[in-house]
Structure 1
Amino acid sequence: MSAADQAAGLRRWAEQAKGPAPATPQAAPATLTTLVVVGLPGTSPRQARRVTDLLAHWADQGRRWVGDPAAWKVVPLDVASPHLALLADQQQRWALWVEGDAEAFRRAFGVLRRLAAARGPRRLLAVHPPGLARRGLLDNLQQAARAYLDIELLVMAP
Protein backbone atom coordinates (compact mmCIF):
# COMPACT_ATOMS: atom_id res chain seq x y z
CA MET A 1 0.00 0.00 0.00
CA SER A 2 1.42 3.37 -1.01
CA ALA A 3 1.60 6.36 1.29
CA ALA A 4 -0.90 8.26 -0.90
CA ASP A 5 -3.48 5.46 -0.62
CA GLN A 6 -2.99 5.28 3.13
CA ALA A 7 -3.46 9.07 3.53
CA ALA A 8 -6.63 9.02 1.42
CA GLY A 9 -8.00 6.15 3.51
CA LEU A 10 -7.26 8.01 6.74
CA ARG A 11 -9.01 11.14 5.45
CA ARG A 12 -12.13 9.12 4.55
CA TRP A 13 -12.11 7.45 7.96
CA ALA A 14 -11.75 10.81 9.73
CA GLU A 15 -14.66 12.30 7.76
CA GLN A 16 -16.91 9.36 8.61
CA ALA A 17 -15.92 9.44 12.29
CA LYS A 18 -16.81 13.13 12.58
CA GLY A 19 -20.46 12.62 11.90
CA PRO A 20 -22.58 15.56 10.84
CA ALA A 21 -21.02 18.98 11.03
CA PRO A 22 -21.78 20.75 14.31
CA ALA A 23 -24.42 23.42 14.20
CA THR A 24 -23.08 26.91 13.81
CA PRO A 25 -23.49 28.73 17.10
CA GLN A 26 -26.02 31.52 16.90
CA ALA A 27 -24.71 34.99 17.52
CA ALA A 28 -25.97 36.48 20.74
CA PRO A 29 -28.64 39.06 20.03
CA ALA A 30 -27.34 42.59 20.17
CA THR A 31 -28.25 44.55 23.24
CA LEU A 32 -31.29 46.67 22.53
CA THR A 33 -31.57 50.23 23.77
CA THR A 34 -35.05 50.86 25.14
CA LEU A 35 -36.75 54.14 24.28
CA VAL A 36 -40.09 54.72 26.01
CA VAL A 37 -42.24 57.07 23.94
CA VAL A 38 -45.25 59.04 25.21
CA GLY A 39 -47.58 61.19 23.14
CA LEU A 40 -48.14 58.80 20.25
CA PRO A 41 -51.77 58.45 19.14
CA GLY A 42 -51.71 54.82 20.29
CA THR A 43 -49.50 52.04 21.60
CA SER A 44 -49.61 49.70 18.60
CA PRO A 45 -46.50 48.41 16.84
CA ARG A 46 -47.48 50.66 13.92
CA GLN A 47 -47.05 53.71 16.15
CA ALA A 48 -43.69 52.43 17.41
CA ARG A 49 -42.64 52.04 13.76
CA ARG A 50 -43.04 55.81 13.28
CA VAL A 51 -40.32 56.40 15.87
CA THR A 52 -38.10 53.65 14.47
CA ASP A 53 -38.46 55.23 11.01
CA LEU A 54 -37.43 58.60 12.47
CA LEU A 55 -34.36 57.04 14.08
CA ALA A 56 -33.46 55.50 10.71
CA HIS A 57 -33.94 58.91 9.07
CA TRP A 58 -31.65 60.56 11.61
CA ALA A 59 -29.05 57.80 11.16
CA ASP A 60 -29.17 58.34 7.38
CA GLN A 61 -28.51 62.04 8.00
CA GLY A 62 -25.30 61.14 9.81
CA ARG A 63 -26.42 61.43 13.41
CA ARG A 64 -23.95 58.96 14.86
CA TRP A 65 -25.56 58.85 18.30
CA VAL A 66 -28.43 56.87 16.78
CA GLY A 67 -26.14 54.01 15.78
CA ASP A 68 -28.07 51.10 14.29
CA PRO A 69 -31.78 52.00 14.24
CA ALA A 70 -32.63 48.30 14.56
CA ALA A 71 -30.84 48.26 17.94
CA TRP A 72 -33.54 50.45 19.48
CA LYS A 73 -36.53 48.90 21.21
CA VAL A 74 -39.27 51.53 20.94
CA VAL A 75 -41.94 51.13 23.62
CA PRO A 76 -45.03 53.33 23.21
CA LEU A 77 -46.61 54.16 26.55
CA ASP A 78 -49.91 55.83 27.32
CA VAL A 79 -49.25 58.79 29.61
CA ALA A 80 -52.19 57.60 31.76
CA SER A 81 -50.47 54.28 32.49
CA PRO A 82 -50.49 53.34 36.18
CA HIS A 83 -46.91 52.11 35.68
CA LEU A 84 -45.56 55.50 34.61
CA ALA A 85 -43.77 56.45 37.85
CA LEU A 86 -42.25 52.98 38.20
CA LEU A 87 -41.03 53.01 34.59
CA ALA A 88 -39.62 56.52 35.05
CA ASP A 89 -37.37 55.08 37.77
CA GLN A 90 -36.39 52.04 35.71
CA GLN A 91 -35.94 53.38 32.19
CA GLN A 92 -33.26 55.88 31.21
CA ARG A 93 -34.38 56.95 27.75
CA TRP A 94 -37.69 58.70 27.17
CA ALA A 95 -39.16 60.53 24.21
CA LEU A 96 -42.14 62.72 23.50
CA TRP A 97 -43.87 62.31 20.13
CA VAL A 98 -44.76 65.71 18.63
CA GLU A 99 -46.96 65.90 15.53
CA GLY A 100 -46.64 68.79 13.11
CA ASP A 101 -50.30 69.85 12.99
CA ALA A 102 -52.09 72.91 14.41
CA GLU A 103 -52.98 71.16 17.71
CA ALA A 104 -49.51 69.69 18.27
CA PHE A 105 -48.39 72.17 20.94
CA ARG A 106 -51.57 71.75 22.99
CA ARG A 107 -51.39 67.95 22.87
CA ALA A 108 -47.65 67.71 23.54
CA PHE A 109 -47.71 70.22 26.40
CA GLY A 110 -50.68 68.37 27.90
CA VAL A 111 -48.67 65.14 27.85
CA LEU A 112 -45.74 66.91 29.51
CA ARG A 113 -48.07 68.33 32.19
CA ARG A 114 -49.38 64.84 32.93
CA LEU A 115 -45.84 63.48 33.10
CA ALA A 116 -44.86 66.15 35.60
CA ALA A 117 -47.94 65.46 37.75
CA ALA A 118 -47.34 61.67 37.70
CA ARG A 119 -43.65 61.91 38.70
CA GLY A 120 -42.61 60.93 35.21
CA PRO A 121 -39.26 61.51 33.54
CA ARG A 122 -37.72 64.99 33.69
CA ARG A 123 -35.72 64.65 30.47
CA LEU A 124 -37.14 63.58 27.12
CA LEU A 125 -36.11 63.57 23.49
CA ALA A 126 -38.53 65.28 21.10
CA VAL A 127 -39.40 62.84 18.31
CA HIS A 128 -41.50 63.98 15.39
CA PRO A 129 -42.18 63.42 11.71
CA PRO A 130 -39.08 64.11 9.58
CA GLY A 131 -38.84 67.64 8.25
CA LEU A 132 -40.36 69.40 11.26
CA ALA A 133 -38.23 72.49 11.89
CA ARG A 134 -36.98 73.51 15.31
CA ARG A 135 -38.15 77.08 14.87
CA GLY A 136 -41.66 77.66 16.15
CA LEU A 137 -43.41 74.61 17.57
CA LEU A 138 -40.41 72.66 18.87
CA ASP A 139 -38.60 75.71 20.29
CA ASN A 140 -41.79 76.93 21.98
CA LEU A 141 -42.50 73.50 23.42
CA GLN A 142 -38.93 73.19 24.69
CA GLN A 143 -39.06 76.61 26.37
CA ALA A 144 -42.49 76.03 27.94
CA ALA A 145 -41.45 72.60 29.27
CA ARG A 146 -38.40 74.11 30.95
CA ALA A 147 -40.07 77.26 32.27
CA TYR A 148 -43.37 75.81 33.54
CA LEU A 149 -42.70 72.14 34.24
CA ASP A 150 -38.96 71.89 34.92
CA ILE A 151 -38.70 69.29 32.15
CA GLU A 152 -35.78 69.23 29.74
CA LEU A 153 -36.92 68.54 26.19
CA LEU A 154 -34.05 67.68 23.85
CA VAL A 155 -34.72 68.87 20.32
CA MET A 156 -32.61 67.45 17.47
CA ALA A 157 -34.35 69.20 14.57
CA PRO A 158 -32.20 71.67 12.61
Structure 2
Amino acid sequence: MSQDQAAGLRQWADAQRRQQSQGTEELAEEPLDPMIPVPGSQEASASELLLDVSSGPRFAAPQAVTPPVPLKPLWVIGPAGREALTHERVRQRLEQWSALGRDWAASPEAWDIHVVKPDAPELARLAAQHARWALWISSDADAFVKVYRALRLAREHGGPQRLLALHEPHVRRQGLLNNLRAAAAGYLATDLLLLAR
Protein backbone atom coordinates (compact mmCIF):
# COMPACT_ATOMS: atom_id res chain seq x y z
CA MET A 1 0.00 0.00 0.00
CA SER A 2 1.42 3.35 -0.93
CA GLN A 3 1.90 6.16 1.54
CA ASP A 4 -0.86 8.23 -0.12
CA GLN A 5 -3.36 5.38 0.18
CA ALA A 6 -2.52 4.79 3.85
CA ALA A 7 -2.91 8.50 4.61
CA GLY A 8 -6.26 8.56 2.85
CA LEU A 9 -7.48 5.51 4.76
CA ARG A 10 -6.45 7.08 8.06
CA GLN A 11 -8.25 10.26 7.11
CA TRP A 12 -11.40 8.31 6.24
CA ALA A 13 -11.26 6.27 9.49
CA ASP A 14 -10.84 9.48 11.54
CA ALA A 15 -13.88 10.97 9.81
CA GLN A 16 -15.88 7.82 10.59
CA ARG A 17 -14.90 7.92 14.26
CA ARG A 18 -15.88 11.59 14.53
CA GLN A 19 -19.19 10.89 12.85
CA GLN A 20 -20.00 8.04 15.23
CA SER A 21 -19.01 10.13 18.27
CA GLN A 22 -21.30 12.96 17.13
CA GLY A 23 -24.16 10.51 16.50
CA THR A 24 -24.92 11.80 13.02
CA GLU A 25 -25.37 9.88 9.82
CA GLU A 26 -23.65 12.49 7.60
CA LEU A 27 -20.08 12.20 6.48
CA ALA A 28 -17.56 14.64 7.84
CA GLU A 29 -17.15 17.86 5.84
CA GLU A 30 -13.34 17.50 5.86
CA PRO A 31 -12.09 16.98 2.30
CA LEU A 32 -10.64 13.59 1.52
CA ASP A 33 -7.68 12.84 -0.69
CA PRO A 34 -9.13 12.66 -4.24
CA MET A 35 -6.72 9.89 -5.23
CA ILE A 36 -8.04 7.44 -2.60
CA PRO A 37 -11.23 5.52 -3.35
CA VAL A 38 -13.92 5.96 -0.69
CA PRO A 39 -15.77 2.73 0.21
CA GLY A 40 -19.46 2.60 -0.63
CA SER A 41 -20.78 1.94 2.89
CA GLN A 42 -19.83 2.70 6.47
CA GLU A 43 -19.58 -1.02 7.25
CA ALA A 44 -16.77 -1.58 4.72
CA SER A 45 -14.30 -4.09 6.01
CA ALA A 46 -10.56 -3.62 5.97
CA SER A 47 -10.21 -6.20 3.21
CA GLU A 48 -12.45 -4.08 0.95
CA LEU A 49 -10.12 -1.15 1.47
CA LEU A 50 -7.01 -3.02 0.38
CA LEU A 51 -6.03 -3.38 -3.24
CA ASP A 52 -6.92 -6.56 -5.01
CA VAL A 53 -3.49 -7.90 -5.83
CA SER A 54 -4.77 -10.13 -8.61
CA SER A 55 -6.08 -7.16 -10.60
CA GLY A 56 -2.94 -5.08 -10.09
CA PRO A 57 -2.64 -1.61 -8.58
CA ARG A 58 -5.48 0.85 -9.04
CA PHE A 59 -3.12 3.78 -9.45
CA ALA A 60 -0.15 3.52 -11.76
CA ALA A 61 3.13 4.62 -10.30
CA PRO A 62 4.63 7.58 -12.16
CA GLN A 63 6.98 6.41 -14.87
CA ALA A 64 10.59 7.49 -14.70
CA VAL A 65 11.20 10.03 -17.43
CA THR A 66 14.47 9.55 -19.22
CA PRO A 67 15.83 12.80 -20.55
CA PRO A 68 16.28 12.73 -24.31
CA VAL A 69 19.78 12.08 -25.56
CA PRO A 70 21.10 15.24 -27.21
CA LEU A 71 21.50 14.94 -30.95
CA LYS A 72 24.98 15.17 -32.43
CA PRO A 73 25.16 18.05 -34.90
CA LEU A 74 26.58 17.11 -38.29
CA TRP A 75 27.20 19.83 -40.85
CA VAL A 76 27.34 18.53 -44.41
CA ILE A 77 28.75 20.55 -47.29
CA GLY A 78 26.66 19.74 -50.31
CA PRO A 79 27.32 20.26 -53.98
CA ALA A 80 27.81 23.70 -55.46
CA GLY A 81 25.31 25.10 -57.93
CA ARG A 82 21.66 24.25 -58.28
CA GLU A 83 21.90 20.59 -57.29
CA ALA A 84 20.21 20.25 -53.91
CA LEU A 85 21.22 17.89 -51.17
CA THR A 86 18.41 16.86 -48.84
CA HIS A 87 18.55 15.82 -45.21
CA GLU A 88 16.86 12.57 -46.20
CA ARG A 89 19.68 11.61 -48.58
CA VAL A 90 22.26 12.23 -45.83
CA ARG A 91 20.16 10.25 -43.36
CA GLN A 92 19.94 7.34 -45.83
CA ARG A 93 23.70 7.40 -46.30
CA LEU A 94 24.26 7.28 -42.53
CA GLU A 95 21.77 4.42 -42.34
CA GLN A 96 23.83 2.48 -44.91
CA TRP A 97 26.99 2.96 -42.84
CA SER A 98 25.16 1.92 -39.69
CA ALA A 99 23.90 -1.24 -41.39
CA LEU A 100 27.49 -2.09 -42.29
CA GLY A 101 28.33 -2.06 -38.59
CA ARG A 102 30.03 1.34 -38.42
CA ASP A 103 29.68 2.30 -34.74
CA TRP A 104 30.39 5.98 -35.38
CA ALA A 105 27.28 6.18 -37.58
CA ALA A 106 25.03 5.14 -34.67
CA SER A 107 21.43 5.47 -35.82
CA PRO A 108 20.36 8.19 -38.24
CA GLU A 109 18.01 9.56 -35.57
CA ALA A 110 21.05 10.35 -33.37
CA TRP A 111 22.19 13.10 -35.74
CA ASP A 112 21.05 16.68 -36.10
CA ILE A 113 21.83 17.10 -39.80
CA HIS A 114 22.46 20.51 -41.34
CA VAL A 115 23.16 20.86 -45.06
CA VAL A 116 25.08 23.94 -46.13
CA LYS A 117 26.21 25.18 -49.53
CA PRO A 118 29.98 25.53 -50.02
CA ASP A 119 29.62 29.23 -50.81
CA ALA A 120 27.28 30.09 -47.92
CA PRO A 121 28.19 33.49 -46.40
CA GLU A 122 27.94 32.11 -42.84
CA LEU A 123 30.28 29.17 -43.53
CA ALA A 124 33.31 30.68 -41.73
CA ARG A 125 31.26 31.38 -38.59
CA LEU A 126 29.75 27.87 -38.64
CA ALA A 127 33.17 26.27 -39.14
CA ALA A 128 34.47 28.09 -36.07
CA GLN A 129 31.48 27.00 -33.96
CA HIS A 130 31.03 23.35 -34.95
CA ALA A 131 33.43 20.41 -34.99
CA ARG A 132 31.64 17.68 -37.01
CA TRP A 133 31.78 18.31 -40.74
CA ALA A 134 31.27 16.05 -43.72
CA LEU A 135 31.61 16.45 -47.45
CA TRP A 136 28.96 14.97 -49.70
CA ILE A 137 30.58 12.89 -52.46
CA SER A 138 28.35 11.75 -55.28
CA SER A 139 29.22 8.72 -57.37
CA ASP A 140 28.35 9.93 -60.86
CA ALA A 141 30.79 10.43 -63.74
CA ASP A 142 31.46 14.10 -62.90
CA ALA A 143 31.91 13.47 -59.17
CA PHE A 144 35.56 14.56 -58.96
CA VAL A 145 34.92 17.92 -60.65
CA LYS A 146 31.78 18.63 -58.58
CA VAL A 147 33.33 17.67 -55.25
CA TYR A 148 36.64 19.46 -55.86
CA ARG A 149 34.73 22.61 -56.84
CA ALA A 150 32.63 22.39 -53.65
CA LEU A 151 35.82 21.93 -51.56
CA ARG A 152 37.51 24.90 -53.21
CA LEU A 153 34.47 27.14 -52.67
CA ALA A 154 34.21 26.02 -49.05
CA ARG A 155 37.86 26.90 -48.39
CA GLU A 156 37.45 30.28 -50.09
CA HIS A 157 34.51 31.01 -47.76
CA GLY A 158 36.35 29.98 -44.58
CA GLY A 159 34.98 26.45 -44.39
CA PRO A 160 36.39 23.67 -42.23
CA GLN A 161 39.82 22.21 -42.89
CA ARG A 162 38.86 18.71 -41.81
CA LEU A 163 35.87 16.84 -43.22
CA LEU A 164 34.55 13.30 -43.31
CA ALA A 165 34.07 11.93 -46.81
CA LEU A 166 30.39 11.02 -46.88
CA HIS A 167 30.02 8.70 -49.85
CA GLU A 168 28.11 5.60 -50.83
CA PRO A 169 29.56 2.36 -49.40
CA HIS A 170 30.32 0.90 -52.84
CA VAL A 171 32.58 3.79 -53.96
CA ARG A 172 36.15 2.46 -54.17
CA ARG A 173 39.05 4.14 -52.43
CA GLN A 174 41.35 3.70 -55.38
CA GLY A 175 40.41 6.28 -57.92
CA LEU A 176 37.85 8.90 -56.92
CA LEU A 177 38.32 8.95 -53.12
CA ASN A 178 42.12 8.81 -53.08
CA ASN A 179 42.34 11.44 -55.83
CA LEU A 180 39.99 13.76 -53.95
CA ARG A 181 41.95 13.27 -50.74
CA ALA A 182 45.27 14.04 -52.44
CA ALA A 183 43.88 17.11 -54.23
CA ALA A 184 42.26 18.43 -51.03
CA ALA A 185 45.50 18.06 -49.07
CA GLY A 186 47.83 19.29 -51.82
CA TYR A 187 45.92 22.25 -53.19
CA LEU A 188 43.42 23.29 -50.49
CA ALA A 189 45.18 22.39 -47.20
CA THR A 190 42.10 20.33 -46.30
CA ASP A 191 42.12 16.94 -44.59
CA LEU A 192 39.51 14.65 -46.15
CA LEU A 193 38.92 11.69 -43.84
CA LEU A 194 38.20 8.42 -45.57
CA LEU A 195 36.63 5.57 -43.63
CA ALA A 196 38.55 2.33 -43.27
CA ARG A 197 37.09 -0.61 -45.13
Name the TM-score, length of structure 1 as normaliser: 0.81
Structure 1 residue 82 and structure 2 residue 114: aligned?
no
Q: Identity of counterpart residues, as a percentage? A: 38
2:95 maps to which of 56, 59, 74: 56
Q: Match for residue 163 of structure 2?
A: 124
Q: CA deviation at 1:62?
A: 1.4
In structure 1, C-alpha distance between the alignment counterparts of 2:189 and 2:99, rounded to whole Å: 32
2:180 maps to which of 134, 141, 151: 141
2:151 maps to which of 91, 96, 112: 112
Of 147-156 and 19-28, more deviation after overlay is shown by 19-28
Residue correspondences, number:
146
Choose 1 or 2 for highest CA Rg.
2
Larger RCO, structure (CA 8 Å, separation 6 or more)? 1
**Structure 2: any 5+ residue segments left out of the alignment?**
1-43, 52-56
Aligned partners of 2:75 and 2:132 also within 8 Å: yes
Q: CA deviation at 1:19?
A: 8.6
Aligned partners of 1:132 and 1:157 also within 8 Å: no
Aligned partners of 1:133 and 1:157 also within 8 Å: no
Aligned partners of 2:121 and 2:157 also within 8 Å: no
Structure 1 residue 101 and structure 2 residue 140: aligned?
yes
> Between Structure 1 and Structure 2, which shows a larger proportion of helix residues?
1
